[in-house]
Amino acid sequence: MIAAIATAPGRGGIGIVRVAGENLQQFACAIGGRCPPPRVASLSDFRAADGGVIDTGLLLYFQAPNSFTGEDILELHGHGGPVVMQMLLERCLQLGARLAEPGEFTRRAYLNGKLDLAQAEAVIDLIDAATAAAARSAVRSLQGDFSREIQSLLAQLIELRTLVEATLDFPDEDIDFLEHSDAFGRLERLRLQLQQVFERARQGCLLQSGLHVVLAGQPNVGKSSLLNRLAGDELAIVTAFPGTTRDLVHGNLQIEGMPLHVIDTAGLRETDDPIEKMGIERTWREIERADVVVLLVDARHGAGDPERAIVDQLPPHLARITVHNKIDLVAAAAERREDSNGTTIALSAKSGLGLELLRQELLRIAGWHAVEDVFIARERHLHALAETQRYLVDAQARLPHLEIFAEELRLAQLSLATVTGEFSSDDLLGEIFGRFCIGK
pLDDT tens digit sequence for 16-25 = 999 999 989 8
pLDDT digits (tens, 9 = 90+) for 402-437: 788 888 988 999 999 988 887 655 655 666 677 667
Give pLDDT, residue 432: 62
Task: Count Cβ atoms below 10 Å from residue 136 Cβ, excluding itself.
Answer: 18
pLDDT tens-digit map of 375-406: 888 888 999 999 999 999 998 887 777 788 88
Q: What CA–CA distance (Å, rounded) separates 375 from 119?
A: 11
pLDDT at 287 over 50: yes
Degrees, nearest 5: CA angle 238-298-333: 105
Q: Of 388, 422, 67, nearest to 197 (Cα)?
A: 388
Among the ranges given (142-156, 353-367, 419-433), the one the predictor scored with the smallest mean pLDDT: 419-433
Q: Is 26 exposed, middle or buried (0-12, 13-18, 19+ CB in 10 A)?
A: exposed
Q: What per-residue confidence (pLDDT) applies to 430?
A: 67
pLDDT in tens, 78-93: 999 999 999 999 999 9
CATH H-level superfamily of 123-206+378-433: tRNA modification GTPase MnmE domain 2 (1.20.120.430)
Spans of all domains in the chain = 2-100, 123-206+378-433, 210-366
* CATH number, span 210-366: 3.40.50.300
The CA-CA-CA angle for residues 126, 127, 132, to 5°, reads 55
Homologous superfamily of the 2-100 domain (CATH): Probable tRNA modification gtpase trme; domain 1 (3.30.1360.120)
Distance CA 72, CA 185 (A): 48
| Average pLDDT of span 307-321 | 85
CB atoms within 10 A of CB 261: 17
What does the alpha-carbon distance between residue 85 and residue 17 come to, in Å, rounded to a whole number? 7
Confidence of residue 370 (pLDDT cuts 50, 70, 90): low
79 close to 58: Cβ distance less than 8 angstroms: no
The pLDDT score that the predictor gives to residue 159 is 85
pLDDT of amino acid 178: 67
The predicted structure's pLDDT at residue 241: 45
Residue 377: its pLDDT value, please?
83
pLDDT at residue 86, as a whole number: 94
> Which range has the top average pLDDT, 93-97, 157-161, 240-244, 270-274?
93-97
Pairwise pLDDT comparison (52 vs 317), residue with the higher score: 52
206/382 Cα distance (integer angstroms) = 11
The mean pLDDT of 41-54, rounded to a whole number, is 92
Tell me, yes or no, if the two domains 2-100 and 123-206+378-433 fold the same way.
no
The pairing of beta strand 2-5 with beta strand 12-21: antiparallel
Does residue 173 surpass a pLDDT of 60?
no
Sheet holding 335-339, edge to edge: 249-255, 258-264, 211-217, 292-298, 319-325, 342-346, 335-339
What is the pLDDT confidence band of residue 310, given thresholds at 50, 70 and 90? confident
HEC letters along the chain:
CEEEECCCCCCEEEEEEEEEECCCHHHHHHHHCCCCCCCCCEEEEEECCCCCEEEEEEEEEECCCCCCCCCEEEEEEEEECHHHHHHHHHHHHHCCCEECCCCHHHHHHHHCCCCCHHHHHHHHHHHHCCCHHHHHHHHHHHCCHHHHHHHHHHHHHHHHHHHHHHHHHCCCCCHHHHHHCCHHHHHHHHHHHHHHHHHHHHHHHHHHHCEEEEEEECCCCCHHHHHHHHHCCCCCCCCCCCCCCCCCEEEEEEECCEEEEEEECCCCCCCCCHHHHHHHHHHHHHHHHCCEEEEEEECCCCCCHHHHHHHHHCCCCCEEEEEEECHHHCCCCCEEEEECCEEEEECCCCCCCCHHHHHHHHHHHHCCCCCCCCCCCCHHHHHHHHHHHHHHHHHHHCCCCHHHHHHHHHHHHHHHHCCCCCCCCHHHHHHHHCCCCCCC
66 or 277, greater pLDDT: 66
Q: Give the global pTM.
A: 0.72
| Dist. CA 109–CA 117, nearest whole Å | 10
pLDDT category at 2 given cuts 50, 70, 90 is: very high
Note the pLDDT of residue 18: 95
pLDDT tens profile 183-231: 788 888 999 999 989 988 888 888 877 888 888 888 888 888 888 888 7
Is the backbone peptide bond immediately before 242 cis, with ω within 30 degrees of 0?
Answer: no
- Residue 4, classified by CB atoms within 10 Å of its CB into exposed (0-12), middle (13-18) or buried (19+), is buried
State the average pLDDT over residues 351-367: 89
Mind listing the pLDDT tens digit for each residue in 93-126?
Answer: 999 999 999 889 999 999 999 999 899 888 888 8
Average predicted confidence (pLDDT) for the chain = 84
Residues near 25 by Cβ (< 8 Å), separated by ≥ 6? 35, 61, 72
